[in-house]
Structure 1
Amino acid sequence: MTSQWERLFRNEGVWQGSFTQFSPTGEVLEEVASVVSLEGLNQGDVMRQVVRKLPAQKAPEEQIYEYRSLGKGVLFFENGAFSQGSIQWGPLSEFGAELGLIWGDRRLRLVQIFGKDNQLSKLVLIRETRLGSERPATSPLRVADLLGTWHGEAITLYPDLRPDDTYQTCLTVKQTDCDRLQQTLQIGKRPQQVQSIGFIQGSLIQFEQGTQVLCLPDGASAAGPLSVQPQTALFLEVGWLIEPGLRQRLIRYYDKGGAWTSLTLVTERRDA
């Protein structure tokens, strides 16, 4: 087992890409080229992060951070995937999280922010490749890309650092009408299944439970509520269709009291 600090270093390197801001319904508001470097210093006791944004026709913007330890709101998986963000939702306060996936020389990160009015206010998709590697040509995620039966393995981490949980998943997504989806999730060997109905509105899938899935560029998706409701459990999720038939999802869960409870990474493959 590697430590959380060691897992941070899976992200070491220079990452070229872009920050793209979307409205809650998926309209592109702004896209800015970026270079992010993560470098270990002092024999690995310090991680130095430099974020350079390169807006068109404007001076570059640079922010520098140095980390000697990890905060309470962040957890890393063995492969370097991670999430950092709010550990507690509260009324009249900003709330949100970043969810980051990594696959070889590619990273995909999503930031979801809710304003003081509890409404989803900002979505930022960050797509990156390591310096010297090529960014493969990919297409925006389509609803059709999600259809089928997906078998996967899930790993759940906990903020209190209790032992991880690992279990099998089976997700079936069917289009039952031109504008309707049926989603069925089974976790582990337990017979019970969780079923939900979604309504397709272009690149957006709106579920009856008040959550939505937004299809984004480069096979990405953002899932979660449009607003945070008191005394209601919620989750924030990023999905990534890495290649046809291979998908990862990273989900940050909060309980009814608004406390962060767990972080789950699912790697799933679609049945032929």
Structure 2
Amino acid sequence: MATISSITVAPMAKTLISNRVQRLPVNLSKSKSFWPSVPSFLRPRTQASKSSPAREQDLKTDEKSMSIDVLQRFINLNLGNWNGSFYQFDSHGNLMQKVHTKLSANSYGEDELTSLIQTLYIRQPPSSTSISGQDTESEWAEYKIKETNMFTVDKYQQIGFFPNERAFSLRYLTAGMLETVLRQGVLGEDDTGEESPKNLKLPSRRPSIVCENCLYSQEKDMRARAFHVLDPKGILEMILIFLEERDGVPFPTSLDNSEDNTNRISPFLGKWKGHSITKRSGVYGATISEADTAALLEIDDKGQLIQNLTSTSSAGDVTTNIHWTGILSENLVTFDRGFQMTLLPGAMYMGCPSDVAKSVAQSKSFHLEFCWMESPDKRQRLVRTYDVEGLAVSSTYFFETKL
């Protein structure tokens, strides 16, 4: 799904959320704004003024054309009718609820006025007033999602897009959508403070980070969209997964009936070899680097998880090695470097710092990761990197095979 940075209810229902995106105060850093402007080292460099005005205009036109092309490819990737389910997990990977969804995505306009318009439908729970033993037609709540266009995709969503690999990351500034979906899908739009259903946890009204990583299936016209939701203190609060199939059966592969719920670490153990592509955030999507990668995840004789990651630049001149030791407790892996992995059904995991506030306090960048192992020997990973002030600055796509 392209964007859910802000949602409004369809005209026939009452409006719950403003389309206006608000800047959210957070307490991760007392001395720095959490959503700053783009740092200088990532800004496009302009040459001093030997270029003629005509040449500068040509460059601007080329950049504009390139960004329009990227946006159009992004829109084309998302077009269609998507059927699936929305899953809510706590930070330890326990399923809290499942809601059936549909998504209709269309576009209009041309060139810089091209926009993606989407409507999300959420199946409502059966009415408590229905007659026992009598089949009733399902009711669906309808939501108009904020349009995606040249303005929103770069300014608000900070897209990280990989057209050939069919993957993207988006940044969000509010969790209004999340609360609306949960309240409308489970509590109903007229809920004004009644007790939540058992095991339902609504997200914080002011999260520090809401990030979507989307990976498309390598085998069929299907996708998984994964959301990290971190609370204002920088701690993972919940994980959301949309599993959707385009123009397919009403509800594709399910995560709540997977057979791997009891041993979710097994699919990821072993040696992996692959390739990575890193791009700057933004609609221009310039590639920063490419690298060959190798990964090893194993359990030693003490029951500890050992992870080794190696990355060698395509030019072969830079090699990076990372060695982590971790502890597995049910579905949560905690590494000694302050990083954690939440294991999910369906051979998926979500990774993030155990404490983002600590990374910020130590002036360290950090990353959020989504991994989907669709077949026993192949997996995709998408990593969203943030700078020390919490700005999404790059995205990295990995495709790896098991040795």
TM-score normalised per structure 1 = 0.89
1:204 to 332, 338, 341: 332
Q: Can you list the C-alpha shifts for 1:25-57, whole angstroms capped at 9, x where unaligned?
A: 112111100011211224682211111111322
Match among 96, 102, 113 for residue 29 of structure 1: 96
The aligned residue for residue 212 of structure 2 is: 98
Letter in 2 for 1:100: C
How far has the Cα of 1:139 moved from its partner? 4.5
Residue among 219, 241, 248 paired with 1:132: 248
The 3 A distance-change label for structure 1 pair 268 and 122 is: same
Deviates more, 1:17-26 or 1:39-48: 39-48
Aligned residues of 1:139 and 1:219 also touching (Cα < 8 A): no
Give the drift of 1:75: 2.2
The residue type equivalent to 1:68 in the other structure is: N
Cα 1:14–1:209 change in 2 (3 A) is same
Note closer, same or farther for the CA distance 1:257–1:180 as it changes in structure 2 (3 Å cut).
same
- Match for 1:54: what amino acid? R
Counterpart AA for 1:206? T
Count of equivalent residues = 267
Q: Does 1:154 align with 2:276?
A: yes
**Could you say what secondary structure the match of 1:173 adopts?**
strand
Rate the CA distance shift 1:224–1:48 in 2: closer, same or farther, 3 A: same
Does 46-55 or 56-65 show the bigger shift? Answer: 56-65
SS in 1 for 2:154: coil
Secondary structure of the residue aligned to 2:76 is: helix
- Larger mean CA deviation between 134-143 and 162-171 belongs to 134-143
After TM superposition, give the deviation of residue 115 of structure 1 in Å. Answer: 1.8
Aligned partner letter, 1:203: N
- Percent identity over the alignment is 25
- Cα deviation per residue 1:167-191 (whole Å; 9 max; x = unaligned)? 2111111211363111111111444
Q: Deviations over 1:105-137 (max 9, x none)?
A: 110011111122322222101111122358357
**1:35-46 → structure 2 map (5 Å cutoff):** 35-42=102-109, 45-46=114-115
Residue 80 of structure 1 corresponds to 166
Q: Following TM superposition, by how much is the alpha carbon of 1:228 offset from its aligned partner in structure 2, in angstroms? A: 1.5
Q: 2:83, 2:252 within 8 Å by CA — same for their partners in 1?
A: no
Between 37-46 and 188-197, report the one with greater CA deviation.
37-46
Which runs of structure 1 show a deviation greater than 6 angstroms over 4 or more consecutive aligned residues? none
CA distances 1:211-246 after superposition (whole Å, capped 9, x unpaired): 211111222111112331223321111100110110
Structure 1: runs of 5 or more not aligned: none
How far does residue 8 in structure 1 lie from its aligned partner after superposition? 3.2
Give 1 or 2: higher strand fraction.
Answer: 1
Give RMSD over aligned pairs.
2.4
Offset at residue 82 of structure 1 (A):
0.8
Distance in 1 (CA, whole Å) between partners of 2:103 and 2:212 is 15
Question: Is 2:379 the counterpart of 1:250?
Answer: no
Distance in 1 of aligned mates of 2:84 and 2:302: 35
Indicate the larger mover: 39-48 or 252-261. 39-48
Shifted more, 218-227 versus 247-256: the winner is 218-227
Answering whether residue 238 of structure 2 is matched by residue 119 of structure 1, we say no
SS at match of 1:132: coil
Q: Which residue in the other structure is 1:60 paired with?
A: 140
TM (norm. structure 2) is: 0.61
> Could you tell me whether the CA contact under 8 Å between 1:114 and 1:227 is conserved in 2?
no
Aligned pairs (5 A) from 1:217-236: 217-229=345-357, 230=360, 231-236=363-368
Amino acid at match of 2:222: R
- For 2:161 and 2:259, locate their aligned partners in 1 and report how far apart those are by CA, in whole Å: 28
**SS of residue matched to 2:356:** coil
Select the structure of larger CA radius of gyration: 2
